[in-house]
Amino acid sequence: MNNKAFHVAVVVQQSIIKMHEACRLERLNRYGRLAEDVETFANLISLCQKALHKKWHLAAERIQRRLTNCVSDLWYALQNCKQVSVELPPVPSLRTLIAELEQLDTELGPYEFDRANKRLSIITEDIELEDVVLGPFRIDLDLRQMVHGSHDSPYACVATEPNPASGNISTTHPHVSDNRLCEGDGKIPIRKALEQGRICDFFLLVANTLNTYNPESAYVRLDDWTGEQCYDCGDSIHGDNVYYCPNCDYEYCSYCSSYCRSCDEACCLGCGGECHGCGEFVCPRCVAACVECKKKYCTNCLEDQMCPDCRERNQENEDQTDEDGSEGNEVEQGAGFAETVRTPDGVLSALQPDGLGEALVFPGQGPQ
């Protein structure tokens, strides 16, 4: 008998036993939550009946709203119970598990077992999807994680020669992120294979899923796999979604860039900004500082290097200065002040300004 296969089979069998125990405990917990929801529902019905009997219509209406929410909770609890209500299969014998390991060795090549970490692993062939070479993957089944029932995925898919998506090094496969496989329709078959101890089928199912591509559920689509990386957010950008900012010499996605409303050139959100006057987005080459307030404005809002607010304020100051000067120097014409002359006999009024050209005659004197 193969000692390696026997030792691995023993560890696998123990892990399956613990996994079944965890599944049974989880089933009881879900049944318990369902029982609590049923009890709550029954109590609400009793309260609603009492409120209607006493004609407390407002209270009855509130209770009925709670009943509606409780129905949703009951449905959710029933679905959870349904997921674990299937009878668990019998624990496979050591002979069966050894045969599974021998078949695994034949189907997918030699397997490795890490005794210290209780990890069973195989390495796939190169994965290539739509002419994108992703390299081989190591499928690690952590037998210690199997004891957690259906809560956590007990395996990881690690790229041994990674060719990750541009701008996202944690995505090594359209359906693998942080070494976790998005199983899609394969989730239930993979789980059943583990519960039944069909170790070879488990690895085959995971390997087949790695050779499958669904663009609708991909973390990163293969069309964008080799695209550029947005300098700001780090997302993968490709084709028409690449916007070059000539001000900082980097490329951005459509969410991290815009265009200047003055020159229509692309500009990243970091280099450009809103004009203080019109509020439009403009690039740094189409803005200037107001000579008065020093704020940045687009060239369309500046006149004589001044912003609209400063121009208005300066105009008001000029108007006020003109008004003050005219009041100090103003002389009313026509009906203005009469000219006066001081004599030994007193002060006499001279001719009005409109008497220009007439002789001035003082009392007791003839014309001069």
pLDDT digits (tens, 9 = 90+) for 239-297: 677 889 999 999 898 889 999 988 889 999 999 988 888 888 999 999 888 988 888 88
Contact by Cβ (8 Å): 209, 184: yes
> What is the tens place of the pLDDT at every residue in 149-187?
555 689 999 999 999 987 688 999 999 999 999 998 888
Which runs of consecutive H residues, i.e. helices, occur in the chain?
A: 3-53, 57-84, 94-108, 187-195, 199-210, 308-329
Residues 245 and 217 in one domain: no
149 Ramachandran zone, left/alpha/beta (phi>0; psi -120 to 50): left
Is 128 inside any structural domain? yes
Task: Show Cβ contacts of residue 175 under 8 Å, excluding neighbours closer than 6 positions.
Answer: 181, 182, 184, 209, 210, 212, 213, 214, 217, 218, 219
- Judging by beta carbons within 10 Å of its beta carbon (0-12, 13-18, 19+), is residue 346 exposed, middle or buried? exposed
Tell me if residue 157 falls in helix, strand or coil. strand
Of the pLDDT bands very low, low, confident and very high (cuts 50, 70, 90), residue 336 is very low
pLDDT score at 70? 92
Which runs of consecutive H residues, i.e. helices, occur in 239-351?
A: 308-329
Tally of domains in the chain: 3
The domain spanning residue 197 has which CATH number? 3.10.110
Backbone Cα Rg of the chain? 45
Residues 101 and 136 in one domain: yes
Is 69 inside any structural domain? yes
Contact by Cβ (8 Å): 36, 74: no
Which residue, among 239, 287, 282, 244, has the nearest Cα to 264 in the 3D structure?
282
Question: Cα(143)–Cα(123) distance, rounded to whole angstroms?
Answer: 17
Percentage of residues in the chain having pLDDT higher than 70: 84
Mean predicted confidence (pLDDT) in 232-241:
75
Which residue, among 227, 257, 260, 262, has the nearest Cα to 244 in the 3D structure?
257
Which residue, among 190, 192, 158, has the nearest Cα to 88 in the 3D structure?
192
Residue bearing the bigger pLDDT, 244 or 362: 244
Residues 44 and 72 in one domain: yes
In the chain the first and final C-alpha atoms are separated, in Å, by 156
> Of 201, 223, 245, which residue constitutes the final position of a domain?
223
pLDDT score at 153? 83
Question: Cα(283)–Cα(269) distance, rounded to whole angstroms?
Answer: 9
Residues 212 and 187 in one domain: yes
Is 163 inside any structural domain? yes
Residues 37 and 105 in one domain: no
Residues 145 and 212 in one domain: yes
pTM for this prediction? 0.58
Which residue, among 324, 22, 338, has the nearest Cα to 149 in the 3D structure?
22
> What is the tens place of the pLDDT at every residue in 127-157?
999 999 999 999 999 998 887 655 568 999 9
Residues 253 and 164 in one domain: no
What range does the domain containing 265 cover? 236-298
Residues 136 and 35 in one domain: no
Residue bearing the bigger pLDDT, 253 or 355: 253
Is 323 inside any structural domain? no
Give the orientation angle of helix 3-53 with respect to helix 57-84, to 10 degrees.
160
Handedness of CA 143, 145, 148, 154 (dihedral sign): negative
> What is the tens place of the pLDDT at every residue in 83-102?
777 778 899 999 999 999 99
Is 273 inside any structural domain? yes
Task: Show Cβ contacts of residue 77 under 8 Å, excluding neighbours closer than 6 positions.
Answer: 30, 33, 34, 37
Residues 206 and 99 in one domain: yes
Question: Cα(257)–Cα(131) distance, rounded to whole angstroms?
Answer: 31
pLDDT score at 205? 96
